[in-house]
């Protein structure tokens, strides 16, 4: 994959567009987001890790990490368009295409974190999180293996690196609003907390230094039965993936430990992400990590000053 500098988070409000040249991670909270957010609103993904590696240090520098463009709230960016085949997620499997500047389906992509496409789904109340990896047909049609979503309004995000006509890599996150038929009220976002438990694992977050618009450390610790967890396994070439969504507009932030780890290495009990969350308020964070071949997803709400 082409070496591209990765910036430090995956979310930036449009108001910062003229200050930070970090552009393009897709969509809007409206049904069809405009492309006005797509070119200059930065939304970058990156983090660092203090995980315990029981073999060698497999971290790398930033030189091979992509800079993602946008705030995650536009359907079009850098001439590329996220084109869903339907506006519903009521049935399993979500079909879409990425259209290039010429209006034709794109079939040339570069892998990022071992996958050509990352696909996310979240409900308007920040529940119902899904992160899956679609497969592409020869004609550029992608099918995401999503589960059927319950009634409500959702947002879907496509994160990818397209191969431009000039050979340049174009990292983007684009999104659109979709629905699932039926009526169900939004539930309150769970209260902010410092820890959560999933599958017997306790995940503790130290977000005390988080301040909107500033790159600050976000520390995460793992324990089980009161003991530190040191057997975190590589998942998509990192020890954890952290996907965050802002209450209200559903701006997205995607963070994960920096660099590639060896398949024989394990990590934990501590990870440190450098997070720049652009807006104050509540962020619902979904942390995915793997142990014993099983993927776990923990969720916690953070209050950002």
> What pLDDT is recorded for position 14?
38
Q: Which domains does the chain have, with CATH numbers?
A: 14-49+60-180 (2.60.40.10), 195-304 (2.60.40.1930)
Q: Is 71 left (phi over 0), alpha (psi -120 to 50) or beta?
A: alpha
> What pLDDT is recorded for position 175?
97
pLDDT in tens, 105-161: 999 999 998 999 999 999 999 999 999 999 999 999 999 999 999 999 999 999 999
> What pLDDT is recorded for position 192?
94
Cβ proximity of 217 and 273 under 8 Å: yes
> What pLDDT is recorded for position 294?
98
- Please return the burial class of 299, using the count of CB atoms within 10 Å of its CB with bins 0-12, 13-18 and 19+: middle
pLDDT in tens, 71-114: 789 999 999 999 999 999 999 999 999 999 999 999 999 999 89
Kindly give the parts of the chain with pLDDT less than 70. 1-70, 257-260
274 Cβ partners below 8 Å, 6+ apart?
A: 8, 9, 46, 47, 48, 215, 216, 217, 218, 255
**Three-class secondary structure assignment of 222-258:** EEECCEECCCEECECCECCEEEEEECCCCCEEEECCC
> What pLDDT is recorded for position 23?
35
């Amino acid at each position: 994959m082409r070496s591209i500098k990765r910036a430090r988070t995956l979310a930036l409000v449009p108001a910062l567009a003229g200050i930070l040249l970090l552009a393009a991670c897709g969509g809007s909270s409206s049904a069809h987001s405009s492309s006005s957010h797509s070119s200059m609103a930065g939304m970058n993904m990156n983090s660092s890790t203090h995980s315990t590696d029981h073999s060698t240090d497999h971290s790398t520098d930033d030189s091979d990490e992509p800079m993602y463009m946008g705030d995650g709230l536009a359907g079009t960016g850098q001439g590329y368009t996220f084109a869903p085949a339907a506006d519903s997620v009521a049935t399993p499997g979500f079909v879409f295409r990425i259209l290039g500047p010429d209006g034709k389906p794109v079939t040339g992509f570069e892998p990022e974190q071992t996958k050509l496409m990352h696909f996310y789904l979240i409900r308007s109340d920040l529940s119902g999180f899904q992160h899956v990896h679609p497969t592409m047909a020869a004609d550029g049609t992608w099918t995401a293996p999503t589960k059927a979503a319950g009634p409500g309004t959702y947002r879907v995000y496509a994160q990818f690196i397209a191969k431009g006509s000039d050979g340049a890599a174009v990292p983007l996150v684009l999104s659109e609003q979709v629905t699932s038929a039926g009526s169900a009220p939004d539930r309150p976002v769970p209260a902010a907390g410092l820890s959560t438990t999933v599958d017997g694992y306790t995940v503790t977050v130290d977000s005390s230094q988080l301040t909107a618009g500033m790159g600050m450390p976000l520390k995460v610790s793992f324990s089980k039965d009161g003991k530190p967890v040191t057997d975190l396994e590589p998942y998509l070439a990192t020890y954890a993936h952290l996907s965050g969504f802002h209450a209200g507009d559903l701006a997205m932030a995607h963070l994960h430990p920096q660099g590639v780890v060896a398949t024989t290495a394990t990590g934990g009990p501590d990870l440190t992400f450098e997070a720049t969350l652009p807006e104050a308020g509540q962020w619902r964070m979904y942390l995915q990590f793997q142990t014993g071949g099983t993927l776990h997803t923990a969720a916690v709400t953070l209050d950002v000053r």
